[in-house]
Amino acid sequence: MGACVSSGSNEGGDQKKRSQMIDRGLEEDSKKLRRECKILLLGSGESGKSTIVKQMKIIHQNGYSRDELAMYRHTIYKNLVDCAKALIGAMRQFEVEVETGENRERCEYIMEYAVDPDPQQALDARIGEAISHVWKDPCISKVFDHQNEFYLMDSAPYFFDEVERIAGPDFIPTEADVLRARTKTTGIYETRFQIQQLSIQCVFHQRKQSMAFAWAEANPVTNRSMFDVGGQRSERKKWIHCFENVTSIIFCVALSEYDQVLLEESSQNRMMESLVLFDSVVNSRWFMRTSIILFLNKVDLFRAKLKKSPLQTYFPDYSGGDDVNRAAKYLLWRFNQVNRAHLNLYPHLTQATDTSNIRLVFAAVKETILQNALKDSGIL
């Protein structure tokens, strides 16, 4: 009988130890989660989110290998040809004629051309020659007089200027090409790095709609996860509820959008769409304790455009002329106006395709995020 009591007592002790181990494990997991600093990278389509993620790889992961660069070749071919077709479509829409019969034939050839789906297949040299000649046609300046009335990728002039290199038989994209390459972001793209030495891990979930969090072991004060999510309208409803307890949001706005229309809805002004999206994010119940880092992006395009397309045409209460600083401050004020939740807002002027600019900006952003993480953890 005594043996039975002893056995039962040992069993109870083992169960208690197991229970204590489970409790300790849960406590450790809880501490790790508290040290986890979730950063959400948001913005409307083509605001520069994916370019920022690419910059993180270039700046903090030794850039792209030759094989990784080669993987972008097909995307760049497609971007180049699609941009050329968009330009010719605009010529026809606004009844702008090329100046020679040869260029008319080249336009027809471009419109009928399809990029080979085989990613190993080089671009046809003839398509490169055709695009180069059409791009140099004097009529192009007349088409660009209507630039705010049709959709054209921001990177189109860059790709047109580089067409001879891109159409070469041995073309391997450069990092500058990759930064300008455009693919529609429809899944969750995760970049993880530690905020101390800023050790980054990028995980791209191509075309996946499900959430996939991979929490790393957090040794320093905070381990950081950055998520780049699809900016197209159809994607937003899939992620808005997924991000409780986000420490900071990096929200990208393309300043140059102020006179452009949406790819998805040609009657909708893109800057107004960004304001609507920002409103839904900044005042969401999911982000009540979140700070907002606002990247006022594409400042280079914004500066050039202000002289040709007055901001006042689209925002009649603006009165600062073509001064880029006044114009940027005005648009920042518009975003502040919808911040009814009074979240902390940290604005930065950025040019996402310029690695040196993003390096400087992110040095400042890192300090902001670290301070917020320390506050969240109760250290400050």
Quick one: pLDDT at residue 194?
59
Quick one: pLDDT at residue 132?
98
Does 62 count as an annotated binding residue?
Answer: no
pTM reported for the whole predicted model = 0.77
The pLDDT mean for the chain works out to 80
**Sequence-ordered list of residues with C-beta below 8 angstroms from that of 363, at least 6 positions apart, any chain:** none
**Sequence-ordered list of residues with C-beta below 8 angstroms from that of 171, at least 6 positions apart, any chain:** 73, 122, 123, 165
Q: Bigger pLDDT: 19 or 364?
A: 364
What's the pLDDT band for 60 if we cut at 50, 70, 90? Answer: confident
Does 155 count as an annotated binding residue?
Answer: yes
The answer, yes or no, to whether residue 287 has pLDDT greater than 70, is yes
The answer, yes or no, to whether residue 341 has pLDDT greater than 90, is yes
Give catalytic residue positions. Answer: 46, 51, 182, 228, 232
What's the pLDDT band for 293 if we cut at 50, 70, 90? Answer: very high
Distance CA 89, CA 48 (A): 25
- Tell me the per-residue pLDDT of 223-241, one tens digit each, with 9 for 90 and over: 455 555 555 555 555 555 5
Quick one: pLDDT at residue 351?
96
What's the pLDDT band for 210 if we cut at 50, 70, 90? Answer: very low
CATH of region 41-63+185-372: 3.40.50.300
Task: Name the pairing type of β-strands 223-229 and 36-43.
Answer: parallel
**Sequence-ordered list of residues with C-beta below 8 angstroms from that of 320, at least 6 positions apart, any chain:** 311, 326, 327, 329, 330
Question: Which residue is listed with tokens 């395009």?
Answer: 301
Does 232 count as an annotated binding residue?
Answer: yes
Convert the chain into a string of H (helix), E (strand) and C (coil): CHHHHHHHHHHHHHHHHHHHHHHHHHHHHHHHHHHEEEEEEEECCCCCHHHHHHHHHHHHCCCCCHHHHHCCHHHHHHHHHHHHHHHHHHHHHCCCCCCCHHHHHHHHHHHHCCCCCCCCCCCCHHHHHHHHHHHCCCCHHHHHCCHHHCCCCCCHHHHHHCHHHHCCCCCCCCHHHHHHCCCCCCCEEEEEEECCCCCEEEEECCCCCCCCCCCCCCCCCCEEEEEEECCCHHHHHHHCCCCCCCCEEEEEEEHHHHHCECCCCCCCEHHHHHHHHHHHHHCCHHHCCCEEEEEEECHHHHHHHHCCCCHHHHCCCCCCCCCHHHHHHHHHHHHHHCCCCCCCEEEEECCCCCHHHHHHHHHHHHHHHHHHHHHHHCCC
| Domain covering 73-172 assigned CATH 1.10.400.10 in the classification | yes
- Tell me the per-residue pLDDT of 172-187, one tens digit each, with 9 for 90 and over: 999 999 999 998 766 6
- Domain ranges in the chain are 41-63+185-372, 73-172
Does 54 count as an annotated binding residue?
Answer: no
Q: Calculate mean pLDDT across residues 61-90.
A: 96
Does 368 count as an annotated binding residue?
Answer: no
Phi-psi region of 62 (alpha: psi -120 to 50; beta: other; left: phi over 0): left
Question: Which residue is listed with tokens 């140099």?
Answer: 136
